[in-house]
Amino acid sequence: MLYFFSFCCLIGKQKKNELLYALNLLIKSLNKYVIDYKFIVYTNFDLKIENSNIEIRNYYNHQENELLYGNDQWKNLSMNKLFIYKDLFDEFNIDYIWIDLDTYVYHDLQYLENLDNFFIEYGGECTLIVDISNNFKLKYKNNIQGNFWKLNIDLCKKLIILLNDLKKNKIILKYDSQSLFSYYFYKILNGKLLNENINISGNTIHPNILNGLAVWCEKNNRSHATIDGLNNLYIENQILKSKYHMDKEIHIVSFTFFTLMKIKNNKYFEKIF
């Protein structure tokens, strides 16, 4: 069985109907491709879902996270994932997998049961540089995404220590937890991922799989979900692929909320999702 958790919270970024649309689409994909799963959804509004695989819990901000990020609602919510993961581990002794609502599972992911950590990078061949923090940059293709990850408890503790050290030293992460992962893997570990058994899909493991946002554009470019990228998706032997990366399988489709809302009513989108 796979164990997932996510947040479905109103913080002034997405509308309630947008959150519910994405959540229902995600659940549809889990029911189709994962089947044997448990999914805990933390929310700050009245949410009811009739599905025995899903548990609804009230969202809360972990005290340790609150001390780090105060009133910055977006970073506060995002970094809180680490602390909620730790709370779930303490409760169940299980490594729950984080999954953003604007994500779609397109393949059986049971192989994740045998991995104690798992991450997704942007992928492709884009060599443009992205700021990870105010003192570190990284190639766009290696930027770790925050929409899907699995930690083990030792790695989680190291990341929380790093998060506190960064704050103490006034090193500001550009984005949310994804920047923390990228900083740890490529600044602290200096890219020596195999030495620490870090599993990054399409990189250190599963070279034939591309799960990052790079599926939406040509190999040397960068983009989020677009109509052109959508029209280049196709299914071959029940495997989702992109004409931009025909040698790769897509097991997890990464969106962003903004772009998902722009393409969701497209007829081809409705056909394949």
125 falls within a domain:
yes
Which CATH number covers residue 190? 3.90.550.10
Return the SS3 of 32: helix
Structure confidence at residue 54 (pLDDT): 97
pLDDT of the chain, 273 residues: tens digit per residue: 999 999 999 987 889 999 999 999 999 999 999 989 999 999 999 999 999 999 999 999 876 766 565 566 777 788 899 999 999 999 999 999 999 999 999 999 999 999 999 999 999 988 889 999 999 999 999 999 999 999 999 999 999 999 999 989 999 898 889 999 999 999 999 999 999 999 999 999 999 999 999 999 987 778 889 999 999 999 999 999 999 999 999 999 999 999 999 999 999 999 999
CA distance 158 to 162: 6
Does 101 map to a domain? Answer: yes
What pLDDT is stored for residue 78 in this prediction? 83
Bridge partner list, 97: 4, 150
Q: What are phi and psi of 238, to 5 degrees?
A: 70, 15
Query: Does 105 fall in a domain?
Result: yes
User: Measured between alpha carbons, how far is 179 from 143 in angstroms, rounded to an integer?
Assistant: 8
Residue 91 exposure: Cα atoms within 13 Å on the Cβ side: 8
Identify residue 61 by its one-letter amino acid code: N
pLDDT of residue 210: 97
Kindly state whether residue 257 falls inside one of the protein's structural domains: no
Per the structure, the count of domains in the chain is 1
Stated pTM of the model: 0.95
Q: Which domain holds residue 96?
A: 2-207
